[in-house]
Structure formats: structure tokens, C-alpha cells
Amino acid sequence: MTQPQTVTQEDLFVSITIHNFSASTLKDFIQKIVKPYFNGNMNQAVHSLMQKAIEEERIVNKAVRLRQG
């Protein structure tokens, strides 16, 4: 009998494709964000920025709920 496997967050990685994104915007993003702050690692930059956006949304949402009281 085999033991059940536990699915972890690391097992849920996906690949994404971005459509309708201008080359100049991508170039600016790479030059201004990816290269200086993430040592050229695009995946790390997108991952980090997504996590920050989610955290900021959580903070704002919490503040709104507190205001509504």
C-alpha cells in the first residue's frame, strides 16, 4: 500500500503567457526593474511583484474593513 501524497504550494507552479504587452513596455520593465533589482531574473521579478501586490491589497482591504467598523 502506498502513502497518499501531499500537494504543496511548490507543486502548483504554472507557466504564464502575457498577451498584448508592448515590446517597449517590456524593454523598460527589464531595464528599470528586472536588471537592477532582480539581477536580470524576470521570473523572480514577476513573482516578487505579484506577491507584493497581493500583500498590499490585503493591507488596504483590512484598513477599509476597519474604517467601516
Position 43 scores a pLDDT of 93
Domain limits for position 46: 41-69
Cell numbers of 46, please? 514577476
Residue 51 is assigned to a structural domain of this protein: yes
Decide if 46 is inside a domain: yes
Tell whether the model's pLDDT for residue 1 goes beyond 60: no
- Does this model's pTM top 0.85? My answer is no
| Helix, strand, coil shares, percent, the chain, to 5 | 70, 0, 30
Query: Quick count: other Cβ atoms within 10 Å of Cβ 34?
Result: 19
> What are 14-65's pLDDT values in tens digits?
888 989 989 999 999 999 999 999 999 999 999 999 999 999 999 999 999 8
Contact 35, 29 (CB under 8 A): no
Backbone angles phi, psi at 28, to 5 degrees: -60, -45
What pLDDT does residue 32 have?
Answer: 97
Asked if residue 48 is part of any domain, the answer here is yes
Whether the pLDDT of residue 8 is over 80: the answer is: no
Is the pLDDT confidence value at 2 over 80?
no
Domain count, the chain: 1
Asked, for residue 32, whether it belongs to a domain, the answer is no
